[in-house]
Amino acid sequence: MRFRSTLPAVLGAALLLAAVPSSASAAEGQFRYDYVTVEGYEATGFLNSPPSGECVNLPGVGLENPEPGHSPKNRTDAWAEVFTDVDCEGASFPLRPHTGGASERLKVRSVVFH
């Protein structure tokens, strides 16, 4: 008898989950970059499982910091396109999934994952 009352509840929950739109996908893994803080300290910034298809302004190297980030390392499972300016503007450079990286010469302020 318990099975008969549980079955409709399970089916109703499954239908509800199917009707709810799925959340945005994320690039699995970590994106890292180095920068100098406003106070002059060396720091490493990172994004864990960042959203895909959305421009992300990198924390610590936005308009409040005159120094951009550098030496980006893409350890996610998605392509990362880094930009020299905030809001994914300016020159860009692609970094391949898992092993993509660049030297200190590449300056970055934002990124989008594809």
pLDDT in tens, 50-106: 999 999 999 999 888 999 999 999 999 999 999 999 999 999 999 999 999 999 999
Helix (H, G, I), strand (E, B) or coil at 107: strand
**CATH architecture for the domain at 29-113:** Sandwich (2.60)
Residue 16 has pLDDT above 90, yes or no: no
User: What confidence score (pLDDT) does residue 27 get?
Assistant: 92
CB 72 within 8 A of CB 108: yes
pTM passes above 0.85: no
Tokens of 33: 């970059």
CB 78 within 8 A of CB 27: yes
